[in-house]
């Protein structure tokens, strides 16, 4: 009987873990991540130069650095990367910084194959920190994601980063000065327990007017699939819950 009761308890805990929303589950701080990153000279320099100013920026916006949650949003038209922040699970995101994209490559439309020089479009996450990048510092994106793989060529390419310098072959460069600031913010968010930093990349503001001007584009149908995620954040300044359906299209829940 004791074994059956224990088994039932385990099953209940498993079901709860599977059903709980990521937004309601505990976030565990990881200060060891900051210490590990600060072993690298470029990260040390970035912290020495920017930590005090960035912590002051967070305080002005009512955010404790130890509870920082980030969201990044990029637009090809207008060539900018927006950095939004809030305290973990405490309301709306606020705009903290806007960085100009210092270089671009490709055209409007998603990335579909290696060597096409396209910057991806869609809903991504930072999945790696590179403190010894060829482009000073860099933050890697999880391209290709499930949606990309559903539509991409046999070799979709990879290694898409937000990085320093002003050179782009499918990446998002924001100059060395820009990446030093952003890298510190990203390390702070990761150390505070944010293991998934969302990065949404759009061709342009996904308004009805902008879409109507490009209705003849071969990418028009794909862009329609980005609208719900874009509009949810515009309306609520909170992150949408985005999944990929069986057709490889984005869907907001």
- pLDDT tens-digit readout, 37-83: 999 999 999 999 999 999 999 999 999 999 999 999 999 999 999 99
How far, in Å, CA of 112 to CA of 110, rounded? 6
Confidence of residue 27 (pLDDT cuts 50, 70, 90): low
Whether residue 192 lies inside any domain: the answer is yes
Whether residue 93 lies inside any domain: the answer is yes
Whether residue 3 lies inside any domain: the answer is no
How far, in Å, CA of 184 to CA of 166, rounded? 19
- Our CA dihedral for 7, 9, 13, 18, rounded to 10 degrees, sits at 50
Whether residue 100 lies inside any domain: the answer is yes
When mean pLDDT is compared across 14-28, 33-47, 89-103, the lowest value belongs to 14-28
CATH code, domain with 165: 2.40.440.10
Bridge partners, 243 (sequence order): 251
- pLDDT tens-digit readout, 106-153: 999 999 999 999 999 999 999 999 999 999 999 999 999 999 999 888
Q: Is residue 76 within 8 Å of 204, Cβ to Cβ?
A: yes
State CA 233 to chain mean position distance: 13
Q: Which domain holds residue 135?
A: 26-204
Domain count for the chain: 1
* The pLDDT value given to residue 17: 33
Whether residue 41 lies inside any domain: the answer is yes
- DSSP secondary-structure letter at 65? G
Whether residue 143 lies inside any domain: the answer is yes
Q: Identify which of 137, 136, 115 has the alpha carbon closest to the alpha carbon of residue 126.
A: 137
Whether residue 17 lies inside any domain: the answer is no
Confidence of residue 253 (pLDDT cuts 50, 70, 90): confident
* The pLDDT value given to residue 19: 31
- pLDDT tens-digit readout, 166-211: 998 999 999 999 999 999 999 999 999 999 999 999 999 999 999 9
- pLDDT tens-digit readout, 215-245: 999 999 999 999 999 999 999 999 999 999 9
- Our CA dihedral for 52, 101, 67, 38, rounded to 10 degrees, sits at -60
CA angle 149, 151, 154 (to 5 degrees): 65
> Is 26 a residue whose pLDDT tops 50?
no
Q: Identify which of 199, 163, 176 has the alpha carbon closest to the alpha carbon of residue 46.
A: 176
Whether residue 188 lies inside any domain: the answer is yes
């Amino acid at each position: 009987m004791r074994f059956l009761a224990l088994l039932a308890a385990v099953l209940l805990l498993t079901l709860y873990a599977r059903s709980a929303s990521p937004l309601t589950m505990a976030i565990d701080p990881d200060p060891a991540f900051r210490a590990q990153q600060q072993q690298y000279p470029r990260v040390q320099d970035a912290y020495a130069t920017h930590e005090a100013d960035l912590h002051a920026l967070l305080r002005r916006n009512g955010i404790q650095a130890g509870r920082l949650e980030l969201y990044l949003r990029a637009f090809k038209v207008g060539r900018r990367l927006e950095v939004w922040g809030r305290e973990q699970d405490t309301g709306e995101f606020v705009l903290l910084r806007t960085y100009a994209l210092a270089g671009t490559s490709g055209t409007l439309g998603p990335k579909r194959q290696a060597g096409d020089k396209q910057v991806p479009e869609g809903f991504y996450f930072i999945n790696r920190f590179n403190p010894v990048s060829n482009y000073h510092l860099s933050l890697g994106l999880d391209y290709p994601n499930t949606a990309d793989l559903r539509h991409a060529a046999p070799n979709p390419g990879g290694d898409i980063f937000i990085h320093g310098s002003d050179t782009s072959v499918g990446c998002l460069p924001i100059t060395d000065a820009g990446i030093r600031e952003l890298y510190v913010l990203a390390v702070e968010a990761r150390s505070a327990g944010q293991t998934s930093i969302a990065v949404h990349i759009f061709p342009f503001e996904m308004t009805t007017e902008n879409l109507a001007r490009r209705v003849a584009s071969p990418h028009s149908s794909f862009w329609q699939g980005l609208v719900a995620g874009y509009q949810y954040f515009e309306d609520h300044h909170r992150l949408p819950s985005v999944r990929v359906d069986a057709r490889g299209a984005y869907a907001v829940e």
